[in-house]
Structure 1
Amino acid sequence: MGAFELIVHHDYTSGTCTDTSGYGNHGYGTASPAPDGMPFDGYGTRVVVFPATSLTDLGGLRARVRLRADALAERRTLIEGYLAFSLSIEPDGALLGAVYAGLKWYVLSTPPGVVTIGRWTDVAFVYDGHDTMSLSADGTLIALRQNLVGRVGDIEWPYGLNIGAWPDDDVRVFAGVMSELWLWRCAPSEDR
């Protein structure tokens, strides 16, 4: 497996959903970014990145989000690549990361209380494209899972990459603010 390659970077504090990764994976939102980031109302706010060539054959991935949660009453989606991966927050403040490989979801979760209401937190989910998943907060590893999973495929049509909400309905909508978001894919190795 090759190195990780940045394919989406949104800095919502810039006042836009423009992708600065160089791949043109711009976001289209139902709200406008504010000086401290993109506000999500917990009901219908989302940012969508439409399917693109750069979002295919992920292999593995790294997803990182800087956020402040305002409510945790239900599962809240942070970022989900349709039929590829998901990073969300559980009602008790636990992080949940999942990858879809071989027609099955593989899930990793942290203990409760990783994300708390009103506090800025930098969360990350990493899957190496082979057998290791990890979740961290503010640079500290919190959960690790190792078992043979295999490569993650494409972020699928028609929903693409959804930020702040479940891909195909206004459920699991994040309530709070995201200031910045990154997504990397595992660049294919030359021997593949």
Structure 2
Amino acid sequence: MNVLMNDAELVVHHRYTSGSSADLSGHGNHGHTTTTATPEGMPFDGFGTRVVVFPSPSLTDLGGLRARVRLYADALAERRTIVEGYLAFSFSIEPDGGLLGAVYAGLKWYVLSTPPGVVPQGQWVDVAFVYDGRDTMTLSVDGSLVALRQDNLGRVGAVEWPYGLNIGAWPDDDARVFSGWMAEIWLWRLRA
């Protein structure tokens, strides 16, 4: 896993416990939302709450990516989006508590999923999705690997207009909306 981080560049870092969705990565990928972050994190109500980051130069040519989120899920009745880059990647929780990561490479979606129940309800956990831009996808919970896929998939392109990067909801509809709290989110691009 450390090999995957050698060529990583942090492009989005929101610490919602600071009370805002300002980007701490230095790339200006600030989140836009009508919800107010609190010292506990960003509350997501499961209906229409989201944080949107508009496409930017640092979100083009991802190649690969690493997304990490500290979250607390309080309802898992349907697929819940953690973070999705429009026409680039998706990271979500399934109704059964499994994790799902997907990348859009070579005009096709490639999916990796875990067994049910790896994301508990009512408990803070760190979840991560990594794709190295070549052939390896991983999902982990609290630093433990829970799923692995190795396949020659190709590079991930850009987070596209008009929807950009959406945290807590599916980009082009109020669907698959996360319910619970997010404390912090990191996104690295892996341009190896």
Shorter-chain TM-score: which interval? over 0.9
User: Which residue pairs with 1:130 in the alignment?
Assistant: 134
Hey, what's the Cα distance between the residues in 2 that align with 1:122 and 1:98?
18
Check conservation: 2:133, 2:191, Cα contact below 8 A. no
Hey, what's the Cα distance between the residues in 1 that align with 2:138 and 2:190?
15
Report the residue type matching 1:21 in the other structure.
S
TM-score, structure 1 length as denominator? 0.96
Pairing 1:83-162 to 2, within 5 Å after superposition: 83-162=87-166
Hey, what's the Cα distance between the residues in 2 that align with 1:16 and 1:8?
14
| 1:53-90 residue CA offsets vs partner (Å, 9 max, x unmatched) | 10000000000000000100000000000000000000
**Partner SS state of residue 108, structure 1:** strand
User: Which residue pairs with 2:33 in the alignment?
Assistant: 29
Identity among equivalent pairs (%): 74
| 1:88-142 residue CA offsets vs partner (Å, 9 max, x unmatched) | 0000000000000011000000111111110001000000000000000000001
**Partner SS state of residue 17, structure 2:** helix
Hey, what's the Cα distance between the residues in 2 that align with 1:3 and 1:37?
29
- 1:73 and 2:85 matched: no
Hey, what's the Cα distance between the residues in 2 that align with 1:42 and 1:52?
27
**Partner SS state of residue 13, structure 1:** helix
Hey, what's the Cα distance between the residues in 1 that align with 2:78 and 2:94?
6
Moved over 3 A (4+): none
TM-score, structure 2 length as denominator? 0.96
- 1:168 and 2:177 matched: no
Hey, what's the Cα distance between the residues in 1 that align with 2:38 and 2:45?
13
Question: What RMSD, in angstroms, separates the aligned Cα atoms of the two structures?
Answer: 1.0
- 1:52 and 2:56 matched: yes
Deviation at 1:30, TM superposition (A): 2.3
